[in-house]
């Protein structure tokens, strides 16, 4: 379980400056898929940076499986929006995927086996010798997902990971992610701007209001084995979409 209690983050030396995250409290159960929705600048990335231990929080408490997070946890992996900056262009796909395993102390043979399995899971088994710049954007993001999977995390943090790809590729990546989430039994915390994406993927959606604070929460009771056409045509999908839209203070979309 990931537990976040009264998390607060103020950038800079003045503790009285406006916080990017203020009094944020939520939990994510093991193997749960939770999406975070929030307007631009409401503090989503700051929250993820604190949860990952990459930056210190000003106050509050974060723990993963009962251990306080004070630096990047061994069993946590990340996938970011900008695949072009997260992959190393001078390394082949295989080396990109295997790279973090060296720092985890995994021996070479095991690293190779983990890399093969992860590339296979994302449908890139035959592309390991290519360089990232020889692949499409969607394939590069699959490499980033493979790298995270090879690391065998118990929890995956994702920051708008599919925002930079076209709609068709995005649907494919969403389904790929749901497949590996089920297969590997990982916990996923997924930040997105896209209401439909959040409802399609999640067990639960949290809406953050600035400064990053849970303003609304919905449980998604749509059946699993989700399908891009059937699930999105389900009346409950439309209802949840409307509820989240209102929670984001969007109001109706003009035609």
Q: Quote the CA–CA distance of 1 and 63 in Å, as a whole number.
A: 8
Q: What is Dmax (Cα atoms) for the chain? A: 57
| Distance in Å, CB of 104 to ligand ATP, minimum | 28
Residue 2, number of CB atoms within 10 A of its CB:
23
Among 2, 34, 44, 80, binds ligand ATP (CB under 6 A): 44
Site residues for ligand ATP, 13-32, by CB under 6 A, read: 20
- Report whether 147 contacts 118 (CB < 8 A): yes
- Report whether 77 contacts 156 (CB < 8 A): yes
Considering the complex, state which of residue 38 and residue 128 has its C-beta at the smaller distance from ligand ATP: 38
Q: Quote the CA–CA distance of 212 and 58 in Å, as a whole number.
A: 14
| Distance in Å, CB of 218 to ligand ATP, minimum | 19
Examine residue 43 and tell whether it contacts ligand ATP (CB under 6 A).
yes
Name the burial class of residue 124, with classes exposed (0-12), middle (13-18) and buried (19+) by CB atoms within 10 angstroms of its CB. buried
Name the burial class of residue 70, with classes exposed (0-12), middle (13-18) and buried (19+) by CB atoms within 10 angstroms of its CB. exposed
| Distance in Å, CB of 49 to ligand ATP, minimum | 8
| Distance in Å, CB of 38 to ligand ATP, minimum | 5
| Distance in Å, CB of 47 to ligand ATP, minimum | 7
Examine residue 138 and tell whether it contacts ligand ATP (CB under 6 A).
no
Examine residue 11 and tell whether it contacts ligand ATP (CB under 6 A).
yes
Q: Quote the CA–CA distance of 43 and 60 in Å, as a whole number.
A: 15
Examine residue 133 and tell whether it contacts ligand ATP (CB under 6 A).
no
Beta strands in the chain (DSSP E): 2-9, 21-28, 33-38, 59-64, 67-68, 76-80, 155-159, 187-192, 204-209, 213-219
Considering the complex, state which of residue 37 and residue 150 has its C-beta at the smaller distance from ligand ATP: 37
Examine residue 161 and tell whether it contacts ligand ATP (CB under 6 A).
no
Among 15, 41, 72, 89, binds ligand ATP (CB under 6 A): 41
Among the listed ranges 40-48, 90-98, 163-171, 237-245, the one in contact with ligand ATP (CB under 6 A) is 40-48
Considering the complex, state which of residue 40 and residue 168 has its C-beta at the smaller distance from ligand ATP: 40
Rg (CA), the chain: 18
Considering the complex, state which of residue 49 and residue 127 has its C-beta at the smaller distance from ligand ATP: 49
Binding site for ligand ATP (CB under 6 A): 11, 20, 38, 40-46
């Amino acid at each position: 379980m990931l537990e976040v209690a009264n998390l607060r983050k103020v950038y800079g030396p003045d503790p009285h400056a406006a916080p990017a995250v203020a009094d944020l409290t939520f939990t994510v159960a093991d193997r749960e898929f939770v999406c975070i929705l929030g307007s631009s600048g409401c503090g989503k990335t700051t929250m993820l940076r604190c949860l990952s231990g990459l930056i210190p929080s000003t106050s509050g408490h974060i723990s993963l499986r009962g251990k306080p997070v004070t630096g990047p946890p061994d069993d946590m992996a990340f996938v970011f929006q900008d695949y072009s900056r997260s992959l190393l262009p001078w390394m082949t796909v295989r080396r990109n995927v295997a790279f973090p395993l060296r720092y985890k102390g995994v021996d070479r043979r095991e690293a190779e086996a983990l890399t093969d399995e992860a590339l296979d899971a994302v449908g890139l088994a035959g592309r390991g010798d290519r360089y990232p710049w020889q692949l499409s954007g969607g394939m590069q993001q699959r490499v980033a997902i493979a790298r995270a999977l090879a690391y065998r995390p118990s929890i995956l943090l994702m920051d708008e990971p599919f925002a930079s790809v076209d709609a068709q590729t995005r649907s494919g990546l969403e389904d790929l992610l749901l497949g590996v989430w089920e297969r590997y039994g990982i916990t996923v915390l997924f930040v997105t701007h896209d209401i439909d994406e959040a409802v399609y993927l999640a067990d639960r959606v949290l809406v953050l209001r600035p400064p990053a604070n849970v303003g609304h929460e919905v449980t998604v009771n749509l059946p699993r084995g989700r399908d891009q056409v059937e699930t999105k045509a389900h009346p409950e999908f439309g209802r949840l979409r409307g509820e989240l839209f209102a929670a984001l203070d969007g109001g109706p979309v003009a035609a």
